[in-house]
């Protein structure tokens, strides 16, 4: 239990550092030139929204299919969440 709380606290600290360091750098260097979201590369997509959504959905489906095929043929692992949890419980990681 204590290990889980420590990992949770460590994760929150890492997320805060991951977000605060670029934000502080933007405040110091580029605040007057452009807004934060465009500075980190988050811009509104230009073009037909339906085509963009279909492209993203298609790319996701292709990646999932390729990953599943690789997992079943090349890696040949029977990994799933329930077996992972049972191993974690047996080794008392939870």
Provide φ and ψ at 93, rounded to 5°.
Answer: -85, -15
Identify the domain containing residue 32 by its residue range. 1-43
Same domain for 53 and 93? yes
Same domain for 49 and 91? yes
Same domain for 30 and 59? no
Quote the pLDDT of residue 73: 78
Same domain for 54 and 23? no
H helices present in 1-94, as ranges: 2-29, 36-39, 49-70, 81-90
Same domain for 31 and 52? no
Same domain for 50 and 91? yes
Same domain for 57 and 91? yes
Same domain for 35 and 49? no
Contact (CB, 8 A) for 20 and 36 = no
Quote the pLDDT of residue 68: 84
Quote the pLDDT of residue 83: 62
Mean pLDDT by 10 residues, the chain (94 residues): 86 92 93 91 88 94 89 69 62 58
Domain count, the chain: 2
Quote the pLDDT of residue 25: 94
Same domain for 71 and 84? yes
Same domain for 87 and 56? yes
């Amino acid at each position: 239990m204590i290990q889980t709380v420590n990992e949770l606290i460590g994760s929150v600290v890492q997320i805060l550092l991951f977000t605060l360091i670029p934000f502080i750098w933007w405040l110091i260097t580029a605040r007057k030139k452009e807004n934060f979201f465009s500075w980190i590369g988050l811009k509104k997509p230009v073009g037909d929204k339906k085509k963009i959504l279909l492209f993203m959905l298609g790319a996701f489906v292709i990646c999932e299919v390729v990953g599943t095929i690789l997992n079943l043929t090349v890696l040949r692992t029977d990994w799933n969440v329930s077996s992972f949890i049972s191993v974690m419980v047996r080794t008392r990681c939870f």
